[in-house]
Structure 1
Amino acid sequence: MSETEPPVLARKDGRVGRLLLNRPHALNSLNLEMIRRVAEALDAWEHDPEVAAVVLGGAGERGLCAGADIRAIHDDVRRGGGADSARFWAEEYRLNARIARYPKPYVALMDGVVMGGGVGLSAHGGVRVVTERAKVAMPETTIGFVPDVGGTWLLSRAPGEVGTHLALTAGAVGAGDALLCGLADHFVPADRLASFATALARATPGQALEEFAEPAPEAALAAHRAWIDPCYRADDVAEILHRLRGSGTTAAKEAAVAIEGKSPTSLKVTLAALRRARALSSLEEALDQEYRTSVAALSSPDLTEGVRAQIIDKDRRPRWSPGTLDEVGEAEVARHFAAAPGGDLGLGASGPGVGN
């Protein structure tokens, strides 16, 4: 991307509208301008008879999108309490809902890194394509945050407790596991992805997939469900850790170590959010709930501390507050599910056609 290029490139190509996230130097991390440009393109193409489908990709060689620009969120919270971040999330989550209900095929090319907000722009689409280079994750607990962009909706509906495992450990999965977890639909090898994308200009997504899709790699997590499901079935993080440590399985013990390094507050709120999301009836309701947990995180010290440790100072030694699970009381968890001070999104009240 040059200084004169916009952060999202939108153009018509044959029968498709192409969206290219265009901040490769920042692994296409999202800001408010990008959210608005994607939304504007979807508005323009929805009723355009020349556009039969939308194709989302990312510039550069490293991936589709690493998520939101969390350094900007850190600076916003430190500078002004997070008002700009709340505005960003409100527009981002509305866009996530719009993508899920978009009336034309929305094809997401999930190649390389697809994390956080990148999942929100891709995994709600109607045609989600992964490659063997894909690294799909909701890494929020690592930075003192809670899965958002519809992540709690998606992960709470993954088979068994695999979604709980991914949410608490913040682990990344490849193509096979992305398909297992319902985060993607089809596998196209990376060396055929450009040809597949080109074919979409002249063929329907179904026709292009018939030509280029191949059997997906093995889902590695499927073989671990014997310990994942019973360990993560508990509704208490401390009990989950107890079961993981006592499972007698090396991979389970490694998962426990990974979880122990995350924000205790984020872990408790994340587990509660996943359990609540299972009982919700729509993505929109989950996004409403996530807006509450996201805005509440703005007043928690862990979000800025997590970003400092992972992105700014990169010492990877966050000082969480509170520092232990026992110190995170029920009232603190409940606070994250209260109505946001500036008002809720109200997406769920709008019904499944929201944004259309």
Structure 2
Amino acid sequence: MDDEILIRQNGHIGHITLNRPRALNALTQGMVDAMEPALVAWATDDTIKAVVIDATGDKAFCAGGDVTQLYHESLAGNIAFGHKFWRDEYRVNAMIAAFPKPYVALMDGIVMGGGVGVSAHGSHRIVTDRTMFAMPECAIGLIPDVGGTYLLANAPGSLGEYLGITGARMNGADCIYAGQADFYVPHEQLPALLDELVKTGDVGVIANFVQTPPNSTLADQQSTIDAVFGLPDMAQINAALDGDDTEWGAKTRKQISHGAPLSAVMSLELIRAARGGDIKMALRNEYRFVSRCAEQSDFIEGVRAMLIDKDRNPNWRYKSIADIPQSLIDELMQPAPDGDLNL
């Protein structure tokens, strides 16, 4: 692991810095392993008033988990590697959500997948004019995980279904509208904000840097999104989109076409299952899917097409949602083969 992640006390804060800029700070097993004991220790350390997580590099806070490593291990038959990674990662996500002190996430740059899991469950989530947030897992044969189904379930109306199934990108203003962030601070103000947090440990200083975000385009699209993504199932959602000849309809159809049909169906199921529940239940249900993903979903093929060969031409197991047996959907919602996640 070496310096993939920097963990230290900095003044009054526990400071975590993701430090793989050339890999867009993608999370590895070693980084997850380092975060957990630090959070455990800081939770009861009276000299630590708050935790801050940020990242190095110009492009990304964190572009997700290191799925290429999971791909190679799964191809080699080491399914247990993925099971351990996801269990450990989800445990850290749950710890962040329940952390007893302020947890400040500086979500500057790309925030996707696993990066959402170590930021958007925090108590003080800060986005900037450079934030690009997405949960694009359907494109690699997965589902929004790391507690993402819980976050999306709590977005306004049916916005969560839309974001999870399409992988649509959001800017900082969109994140605040969608309930995935709390504060908008210009990128150039982050060093000064961090200095104040280090000096004081008081998250109240954030208010001195907050600006009103620009208008969110999602707010204007909310009624259209609700009318389509509030429908009972993917068949009806797709039918509604097929009948929508607007620019938004065409773009949304294209976004969905890039993902695995099975992932779209399961994302809809899991986001709706998370509505009204808590993060632990959502993580448990997500693990039920990912624990089977190497063998029963399109994860291997999705990563190959998008990140390994980069031909962007995946051969999905099911070409359309009509081909997906209900028995498989039911099975993917059953307790994990290696035991349910216990948080």
Relative to the length of structure 1, the TM-score reads 0.94
Distance in 1, Cα, partners of 2:2 & 2:196: 26
Distance in 2, Cα, partners of 1:86 & 1:159: 32
Counting aligned pairs with the same residue, the percent is 39
Which residue in the other structure is 1:289 paired with?
285
Query: Size of the alignment, in residue pairs?
Result: 343
- Residues 130 and 187, structure 2, Cα contact 8 Å, conserved in 1: yes
Question: CA offset at residue 251 of structure 1?
Answer: 0.7
- Residues 67 and 115, structure 1, Cα contact 8 Å, conserved in 2: yes
Which residue in the other structure is 2:106 paired with?
109
Question: CA offset at residue 14 of structure 1?
Answer: 1.1
- Residues 132 and 217, structure 1, Cα contact 8 Å, conserved in 2: no
- Residues 116 and 139, structure 1, Cα contact 8 Å, conserved in 2: yes
- Residues 65 and 114, structure 2, Cα contact 8 Å, conserved in 1: yes
Which residue in the other structure is 2:299 paired with?
303
**Residue 214 in 1 paired to residue 215 in 2?**
no
| Worse-superposed segment, 104-113 or 269-278 | 269-278
Which residue in the other structure is 1:343 paired with?
339
Distance in 2, Cα, partners of 1:312 & 1:245: 32
Write out per-residue CA displacement over residues 145-179 of structure 1, whole angstroms, 9 at most, x where no aligned residue: 01111000010110011111110101110011101
SS in 1 for 2:299: helix
Q: Which amino acid aligns with 1:327?
A: D
Q: Which amino acid aligns with 1:241?
A: N
Write out per-residue CA displacement over residues 50-82 of structure 1, whole angstroms, 9 at most, x where no aligned residue: 111110001111111011001011111111242
SS in 1 for 2:126: strand
Distance in 1, Cα, partners of 2:202 & 2:333: 39
Write out per-residue CA displacement over residues 31-57 of structure 1, whole angstroms, 9 at most, x where no aligned residue: 111011111111221222211111000
SS in 2 for 1:9: strand
1:331 pairs with 319, 327, 333, which one? 327
Q: 1:327 to 1:81 in 2, by over 3 A?
A: farther
Question: CA offset at residue 8 of structure 1?
Answer: 1.0
Which residue in the other structure is 1:123 paired with?
120
Relative to the length of structure 2, the TM-score reads 0.97
Q: Which amino acid aligns with 2:131?
A: A
Which residue in the other structure is 1:37 paired with?
34
**Residue 62 in 1 paired to residue 64 in 2?**
no
Which residue in the other structure is 1:175 paired with?
172
Alpha-carbon RMSD across the aligned residues, in angstroms, is: 1.3
Q: Structure 2 regions of 5+ residues with no counterpart?
A: none
- Residues 297 and 336, structure 1, Cα contact 8 Å, conserved in 2: no
**Residue 99 in 1 paired to residue 96 in 2?**
yes
SS in 1 for 2:53: strand
